[in-house]
Amino acid sequence: MLTLAWRNLWRKKRRTFITVSSVMLAAVLAIFLMSMVNGMKQQMIDSIISNTTGHLQIQDVLYHDEPTMDHAMEYGEEVKQAVSAFADEIEYTVPRIEGFCLASKEISSRGVYLMGIWPEKEDRMNDLSSRLIKGEMFSRHDDFAVIAEGVATQLDLELGDTIVLLGQGFQGMTAAGKYRVGGILEFPLPEQNNTMVYLPLQEGQHFFAAPDRLNRLILMLEDQALAEELAKNIQQELDEEWYTLKTWEELMPDKVAAFEARHAQVRIFAWVLYIVAGFGIFGTIITMMHERLREFGILLSIGLKRTQLAGICLLETFFMSIMGVIAGVIVGFPIVYWFYKNPIPLADDMADVMIDFGLEPLMRFSIETDIFIYQALTIFIIALLVGLYPVNKVFRLKMIHAAKN
């Protein structure tokens, strides 16, 4: 039966090619679509983790609901010991102290977001220094500021100029300082490019009158999948009255919910694609069956059992489905790999949507193995289900009528 089924495929090469091509096209479209969806989802996660939240954050227990400098946590031995207890699972930590303040030069002023950072660790997290377009990045012990290009433009600041910062420090203290501009950064997102000002961590703590305090301690993990379990374990080492651990999903629930809603819409569209692909394959199977009715009638009349003929038809469908799926993966992989290396730049409304999500306006693709396996398996199952039609047709076939056609 295997030999007969295989030989049947190549007696009518054109018919086999059409059926295999239908399965292949469906697999390529499904792989392309889900690669795009997974790529955009991973882009969102990577952007949030690397630019904003990290995998986990240790904060003062009140800071998430009321993010003010008064709720900056004490970065003491308790926190350090809790983190060191899980050093094998934590790749590195990123301390930050941050807050809004007023920046000015002479009579010009604007609101900015000041962040005191440890430059080496910040570079490891989001490659901040790569965005430097003028000047240099400070070290931990410097005392100059690095500002975003939009802030420099709006305040007419150049390298060597002085920026004056005024805000509210810890427990009502006045935060004020004058800093030389030593570097200028350029960000792709307007929200960052028009507001960010950076100081070394110790200088930022001094500015906010909050020595040994942080707004957040970011934990970057070896394995993102361990985030929730690790958060529970570290929380047990900390006083729950003073400290809390948050995962990135807890810190960005609105963005996660919005993207999940969009992801669900795309999933529905994917199933529409599967249904259309199924009907396309079904159409080729029906055509194939009508072309072979006489052949089936003769085979049955010379003594071939219906179960054997049905088995041969099912094997033919299996062979064509597996060939179509393999061809789909072979054709689909280089396509999505090219887009993986060359993301599609977005413009107009689509770009605005991406920027609203806090993402660069690029459509990225993913090449995770699961995408190819899941899509290929789905199309393969659909093709096999469609292949049950010839089996049903064989059992209902009137031998004499079919032989005469």
Q: What is d(CA 18, CA 57) in angstroms, rounded to the nearest whole number? A: 55
**Mean predicted confidence (pLDDT) in 95-111:** 91
Nearest Cα neighbor of 251 from 65, 7, 46, 3 is 65
Q: What is the model's pLDDT at position 206?
A: 93
- pLDDT tens figures, 44-55: 777 778 777 888
Does residue 56 register a pLDDT over 60? Answer: yes
Report pTM: 0.69
Exposure class string for 99-136: b at 16+ Cβ within 10 A, else e: bebebebeeeeeebbbbbbbbebbeebbebeebeebbe
Q: What is the model's pLDDT at position 359?
A: 67
pLDDT above 70 coverage of the chain, percent: 92
Does residue 30 register a pLDDT over 80? Answer: yes
Q: Which amino acid is at 401?
A: H
- CA angle 33/321/287 to nearest 5° reads 105
Does residue 402 register a pLDDT over 60? Answer: no
Does residue 405 register a pLDDT over 60? Answer: no
Question: Which residue is associated with the tokens 């919005």?
Answer: 258
Label residue 397 by pLDDT band (50, 70, 90).
low
Residues 6 or more apart whose Cβ sits within 8 Å of residue 146: 132, 135, 137, 138, 181, 182, 183, 184, 185, 197, 198
- pLDDT tens figures, 360-393: 777 788 888 888 888 888 888 887 787 777 777 7
Q: If residue 275 lies in a helix (H) or strand (E), which one and from where to where?
A: helix 253-291
Does residue 259 register a pLDDT over 80? Answer: no
Q: What is the model's pLDDT at position 250?
A: 84
- Number of Cβ atoms within 10 Å of the Cβ of 196: 23
- pLDDT tens figures, 132-148: 999 999 988 898 999 99
- pLDDT tens figures, 323-352: 888 888 899 899 999 988 888 887 777 677
Tokens of 142: 């410097």
Burial label, 61 (beta-carbon count in 10 A; 0-12, 13-18, 19+): middle
> Which of 48-62, 254-268, 289-303, 338-352 is predicted least confidently?
289-303
Label residue 234 by pLDDT band (50, 70, 90).
confident
Q: What is the model's pLDDT at position 358?
A: 59
